[in-house]
Each structure stands twice: as structure tokens, then as C-alpha cells.
């Protein structure tokens, strides 16, 4: 079990990054593009060079002496460096711990992509109460706007195809429409589907 100290939340992370971001060796690694896997400070600097770096002194002062640091890259906004920085005091990370970080890396990325997808498909509030669409019905409509077939939506959501069709039928009834395209256009006009979910430029698959 991983135990996180209570004081971690109070550490001045933003101030630390403002003061040392440009001098931190891992910041320089990410400046050249996100690395393929976890990278430790000791991978890019000798211990002597690290001790002479401003970020080392800041880590000792601001991060409670956590001068042993390893980064785990994460998917993020293009052009921005995104990742997890694992810090601790004492000895450096062992080969076994580095292997563990390498195994955790793809799992973290999968979780982050899933969270991003859930946020993208999260229902809006305006118009939702008026139509009385359920969150799942709206998710099905958003996937439909992307041009997915009922079978493809079923695979994406982990439900049966007939359940997808049932959600679509309920959506048509609540919206007073007869087909996917008309329904998707309606919920988009109400602000429940974003500009990126444009059904007009796609052919509407049969139900």
C-alpha cells in the first residue's frame, strides 16, 4: 500500500516550478519531447552535477529534502510537458523500482486517457433537463455523432447492441425525432454536443 504524507498537499509545487523549472534537468528532457518512459535525475546528471543545480537546493528546502526524483511521462496537451514527478529523500531509485515505474507507466496513461474520454463525453446541463435525456443516452448520441455504428458503440461502452438501439429509440421519443441525424442536430443546437462532434460532415449510419 502506498501511503502519502498529509503535508504533500501543502508543498509549494507551483512556486518550486516557477523558480526552478528552467534549470531542472528533467524539464530539459521534456523540452525535447516527452520521453518514451520514466526518467530519473540520475539518468541525466551525475550526483555531483545535480548537487550543484539550483533545483537540488530548492528540493532540499521546499520539497522536504526530496532530492531523489523520477518522472513518469503522461499524455497531455500537444506542446506541453505532462507527467508525474515522484520524489523522495535518501537513496536513489533501485533497478527494481525503476522497472516498477516502467510497468506502471502504460497503466497510468490508460487511466488518464479514459478520464479524458469521460470528460469529453460528459453531458452538459443546458437543455438536458428539458429533454430528460439520461447521461447514457447522451453519451450514445455523442458517439453516434462521431459516425459509430450501433455495434461499434456497444463495443466502446461494453454493452449489448440492442441496448444501444434502445437508448437511441428512447432519445428519439424524448426529442420528438425519427432518426439519428435529426436527433444529433437537435442536441447539438441545445449545446449538449460540442463543435468537434459534427454529424453533418459524416454520413449517418443506419440504426
Residues 110 and 149 in one domain: no
Q: Is-contact 72 105, C-beta < 8 A?
A: yes
Residues 185 and 155 in one domain: yes
* Residues 19, 63: Cα–Cα separation, whole Å: 13
Mean pLDDT, the chain, integer? 79
Which pLDDT score, from 0 to 100, does residue 197 have?
A: 47
In a domain, residue 195? The reply is: no
Q: Which three cell numbers stand for residue 103?
A: 510497468
Q: Which three cell numbers stand for residue 79?
A: 506542446
Query: Domain containing 128 — which CATH number?
Result: 1.10.10.10
Any alpha helices (H) in the chain, and if so which ranges? 13-20, 25-31, 41-44, 47-51, 54-62, 95-121, 128-131, 135-145, 150-157, 161-175, 180-189
Number of domains in the chain: 2
pTM (2 decimals)?
0.53
Give the structural domain span for 96.
6-119
pLDDT higher than threshold 90 for residue 10: no
Amino acid at each position: 500500500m502506498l501511503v502519502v504524507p498529509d503535508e504533500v498537499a501543502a508543498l509549494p509545487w507551483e512556486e518550486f516550478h516557477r523558480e526552478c523549472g528552467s534549470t531542472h534537468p528533467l524539464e530539459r528532457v521534456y523540452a525535447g519531447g516527452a520521453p518514451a518512459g520514466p526518467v530519473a535525475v540520475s539518468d541525466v546528471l551525475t550526483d555531483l552535477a545535480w548537487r550543484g543545480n539550483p533545483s537540488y537546493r530548492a528540493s532540499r528546502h521546499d520539497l522536504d529534502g526530496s532530492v531523489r526524483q523520477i518522472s513518469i511521462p503522461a499524455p497531455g496537451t500537444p506542446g506541453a510537458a505532462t507527467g508525474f514527478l515522484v520524489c523522495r529523500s535518501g537513496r536513489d531509485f533501485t533497478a527494481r523500482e525503476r522497472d516498477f515505474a516502467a510497468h506502471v507507466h502504460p497503466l497510468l496513461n490508460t487511466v488518464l486517457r479514459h478520464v479524458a474520454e469521460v470528460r469529453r463525453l460528459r453531458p452538459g446541463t443546458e437543455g438536458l433537463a428539458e429533454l430528460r435525456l439520461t447521461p447514457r443516452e447522451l453519451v450514445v448520441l455523442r458517439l453516434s455523432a462521431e459516425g459509430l455504428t450501433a455495434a461499434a458503440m456497444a463495443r466502446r461502452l461494453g454493452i449489448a447492441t440492442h441496448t444501444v438501439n434502445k437508448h437511441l429509440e428512447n432519445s428519439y421519443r424524448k426529442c420528438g425525432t425519427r432518426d439519428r441525424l435529426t436527433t444529433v442536430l437537435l442536441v447539438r443546437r441545445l449545446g449538449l454536443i460540442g463543435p468537434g462532434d459534427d454529424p453533418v460532415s459524416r454520413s449517418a449510419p443506419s440504426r
